[in-house]
Amino acid sequence: MQELTPHTPGVRLQRLRRITVFDGQDLKKAMLAGAASLEEHREIINALNVFPVPDGDTGSNMFATIQAAFRDVINCDDTSAGVISARLAHGALLGARGNSGVIFSQILRGLAQGLDKKQTFSALDLALALDEAQRLAYRAVIKPVEGTILTVVRETAEAAMASAKRGDDLVSMMQEAIIAARQSVAHTPDLLPTLKQAGVVDAGGQGLCTILEGVWHYVRGESGQVTNASLLTSSTTPILESTVKKGRVKIEEEFGYEVVFLLRGENLDVKGIRQTIIDMGGVSTVVAGDEKMLKIHTHSESPGKILDYGVGLGSLLDINIENLQEQSLTYAAESEAEHAAEEMQPVTHPIATVAVVAGPGFERVFRSIGVTAIVPGGQTMNPSTEELLAAVDAVDARQVILLPNNNNVILSARQVTGLSSKEVFVVPTESMPQGIAALLGFNFEADFEANCEAMAEAASHIQTAEITTAIRTVQVGGVRVREGDFIGLVNGNLVIAGQDIEYVIRETLQRMNIERFEIVTLYFGEGVTRQQAEDTARSIKEKYSHLEIEVVDGGQPHYAYILSAE
């Protein structure tokens, strides 16, 4: 990126900056932002599917395709736009899924042809590449259907070309392109009668537009924080408006359950059914299809009533009910914590901390000591680089300290450093207690570098022991373990195995030279009661009377106990 004008905080200008040239890494980041945007909205795009189109879940298919596109790109440091775009196209070709995915892979192929052998590209180069993309996209079908993703890519490319010929830079050109894409999507029902009947816009076109929204946000210098506004551009989908999820969510009664099913019947009245479901209290209702088969998607407090109503009209197929209340509670708690942490931070030192945490108890602990955001995960469920990147991009700070809290997550956390436009430092914490120690070492008043150092230092003083159950019979480092045994690990190394948990805990403590430490924190996991944990703590205290033992509900999966010693 070149020719950045100074960023004015707090002022939302149309023209924050001017960019004349992008290289391959910029292209990669822009497309990653596009993929993130698609991931966020994929369920809504799935819901847009007019049922009688033999292309299942457009949102998921396109997302699978763009994920495949990144397979060889995510770790690629090449700065050549030609190389990056060629790899994107190749990945998409191999992983294309569904009709829209195949078309999207062809669009990427066209872009790659347009950017072939180019190290960097200008607005005009990109416009030419987009033109090539739309030409190739149309080439691969005998009878192109208008009112689909094809129309959207063509009209977007036309707008980009017109803008580039006027001499616009990449920012202005992308703005023109995204406006054209939104309009094009909004017009798809005028071109394709089935869409109009169903009262939706084309799902594939919306998918492409959603990707471009992400790219546009990146180009404009706002990573993450994509609003849903783009998904609601069509006047023909007014019912979708209530699905807008704001950054700060209050728990509202209307979440309830998500109900999705197919309704087969005779002479079904799409509009009437939609209205009835809305009258019954259905939120975010989408009813699409024809008089014989409808796809119904709604959110309701009482899914039973909706299903009863459906049964009265015909037969129900592929019924799927999900509890949104639970999801939204988690989401609300997370966003609350994020905002609370933000408010605690002085505005002049916008450093955020993001931690990978497993277990509700540990989450509470991390929140209570001021972590900005939490990515759920840990042993056996390592979060991906994308999830970490999304969390880093979502926090409202330019500098982010990442606590992986697991040996297996450190590597993917380090990849975030190169992918995010923010300044990211990874404190290589190998366990949650280390993460807690690091977080306690965080100083709001110190600068980024000082904090990184202090946190790494704080983490290094912590010894962690973990008590869990062996899932198979094995011999590691001279310790024989049978399936079902309790095993003790010190800093990730297996030290002892046995049938009796008390014995294993005692031996583990001994091997970590517990005499040298003063404070032990005992985090008990999901299968253990507080009473059991207190008893364990008492028996440790009997043996090592100098220790101060604190018992904390960690709620972690798999590990009965996690102990930290300092």
Partner 1 sequence: MRMPKTPAIQPQQGSHHLGKIEVLPNAIHTIAVQAIIESYGVVGLTAPRLRNGKAVFLPHDHLNQGVQIRIVDDQIIVEVYVALEYGLRISEIAHNIMSAVKFSIEKMLGVPVAQVNVNVQGLSQDLNK
Binding segment toward partner 1, per CB under 8 A, in 28-36, 92-100, 339-347, 404-412: 92-100
Q: Is 516 in the site for partner 1 (CB under 8 A)?
A: no
Cβ-based nearer residue to partner 1, 292 or 414:
292
Taking CB under 8 A as the criterion, the residue among 12, 117, 143, 246 binding partner 1 is 143
Helices (H), 97-202: 98-114, 123-139, 149-165, 170-191, 193-198
Residue 563: which H helix or E strand, with range? strand 559-565
Site residues for partner 1, 365-394, by CB under 8 A, read none
Q: Is 103 in the site for partner 1 (CB under 8 A)?
A: yes
Taking CB under 8 A as the criterion, the residue among 59, 101, 383, 441 binding partner 1 is 101
CB-CB contact of 93 with 109 (8 Å): yes
| Among the listed residues 189, 228, 185, 203, the one whose alpha carbon sits nearest the alpha carbon of residue 58 | 203
The b-or-e profile of 379-394 (16+ CB within 10 A means b, else e) is beebbebbbbbbbbbb
Residue 399: which H helix or E strand, with range? strand 399-403
Cβ-based nearer residue to partner 1, 137 or 209:
137
State in angstroms the smallest separation of the CB of 124 from partner 1.
Answer: 20
Instruction: Tell me the site size for partner 1, rule CB under 8 A.
Output: 24
Q: Is 347 in the site for partner 1 (CB under 8 A)?
A: no
Binding segment toward partner 1, per CB under 8 A, in 51-59, 242-250, 396-404, 528-536: 51-59
Spatial CB neighbours of 113, under 8 Å, sequence gap ≥ 6: 129, 132, 136
Binding segment toward partner 1, per CB under 8 A, in 33-41, 93-101, 123-131, 170-178: 93-101
Residues 108-127, one symbol each (x = binds partner 1 by CB under 8 A, - = not), give -x---x--------------
| Longest distance between any two alpha carbons in the chain, whole Å | 83
CB-CB contact of 183 with 137 (8 Å): no
Binding segment toward partner 1, per CB under 8 A, in 52-60, 371-379, 382-390, 499-507: 52-60
Spatial CB neighbours of 443, under 8 Å, sequence gap ≥ 6: 450, 451, 454
182: tokens are: 């939104």
Residues 406-445, one symbol each (x = binds partner 1 by CB under 8 A, - = not), give ----------------------------------------
State in angstroms the smallest separation of the CB of 226 from partner 1.
Answer: 27
Q: Taking the alpha carbons of 531, 532, 533, 536 in that order, is the dihedral positive or negative?
A: positive
352: tokens are: 């955020």
Taking CB under 8 A as the criterion, the residue among 133, 136, 283, 392 binding partner 1 is 136
Q: Is 82 in the site for partner 1 (CB under 8 A)?
A: no
The Cα–Cα gap between 231 and 34 comes to 14
Binding segment toward partner 1, per CB under 8 A, in 98-106, 192-200, 305-313, 334-342: 98-106
CA 128 to mean position of chain CA atoms: 32
Cβ-based nearer residue to partner 1, 105 or 134:
105
Q: Is 106 in the site for partner 1 (CB under 8 A)?
A: yes
DSSP character for 144? Answer: P
Binding segment toward partner 1, per CB under 8 A, in 103-111, 192-200, 219-227, 312-320: 103-111
Taking CB under 8 A as the criterion, the residue among 55, 342, 423, 507 binding partner 1 is 55
Task: Find the radius of gyration of the CA atoms of the chain.
Answer: 27
Q: Is 317 in the site for partner 1 (CB under 8 A)?
A: no
β-pairing, 22-23 vs 120-121, is antiparallel
The Cα–Cα gap between 313 and 266 comes to 8
Binding segment toward partner 1, per CB under 8 A, in 79-87, 138-146, 192-200, 380-388: 138-146
Q: Is 340 in the site for partner 1 (CB under 8 A)?
A: no
Give the C-alpha distances (Å, rounded to integers) separating 114 from 130, 170, 266, 293, 296: 7, 16, 50, 43, 41
State in angstroms the smallest separation of the CB of 126 from partner 1.
Answer: 19
Binding segment toward partner 1, per CB under 8 A, in 35-43, 91-99, 343-351, 411-419: 91-99
The 3-state DSSP class for residue 24 equals helix
Q: Is 72 in the site for partner 1 (CB under 8 A)?
A: no
The Cα–Cα gap between 69 and 61 comes to 12
Q: Is 295 in the site for partner 1 (CB under 8 A)?
A: no
Q: Is 344 in the site for partner 1 (CB under 8 A)?
A: no
State in angstroms the smallest separation of the CB of 88 from partner 1.
Answer: 14
Taking CB under 8 A as the criterion, the residue among 12, 14, 77, 142 binding partner 1 is 142
Strands (E), 27-103: none
Q: Is 244 in the site for partner 1 (CB under 8 A)?
A: no
The Cα–Cα gap between 219 and 223 comes to 8
Q: Taking the alpha carbons of 494, 495, 499, 503 in that order, is the dihedral positive or negative?
A: negative
β-bridge partners, 549: 520
State in angstroms the smallest separation of the CB of 110 from partner 1.
Answer: 10
Q: Is 251 in the site for partner 1 (CB under 8 A)?
A: no
State in angstroms the smallest separation of the CB of 93 from partner 1.
Answer: 6
| Among the listed residues 483, 475, 540, the one whose alpha carbon sits nearest the alpha carbon of residue 506 | 540
Q: Is 197 in the site for partner 1 (CB under 8 A)?
A: no
Query: Amino acid identity of 138?
Result: Y
Q: Is 152 in the site for partner 1 (CB under 8 A)?
A: no
The Cα–Cα gap between 366 and 361 comes to 9
State in angstroms the smallest separation of the CB of 135 from partner 1.
Answer: 9
Cβ-based nearer residue to partner 1, 102 or 232:
102
Of the CA atoms within 13 Å of residue 468, those in its CB half-sphere come to 16
Cβ-based nearer residue to partner 1, 117 or 472:
117
Q: Is 99 in the site for partner 1 (CB under 8 A)?
A: yes
Spatial CB neighbours of 47, under 8 Å, sequence gap ≥ 6: 240, 260, 284, 286, 297
Q: Is 301 in the site for partner 1 (CB under 8 A)?
A: no
State in angstroms the smallest separation of the CB of 267 from partner 1.
Answer: 12
Q: Is 105 in the site for partner 1 (CB under 8 A)?
A: yes
For the beta carbon of residue 67, count every other beta carbon within 10 angstroms.
19
Residue ranges in contact with partner 1 by CB under 8 A: 52, 54-55, 93-99, 101-103, 105-106, 109, 113, 136, 139-143, 145
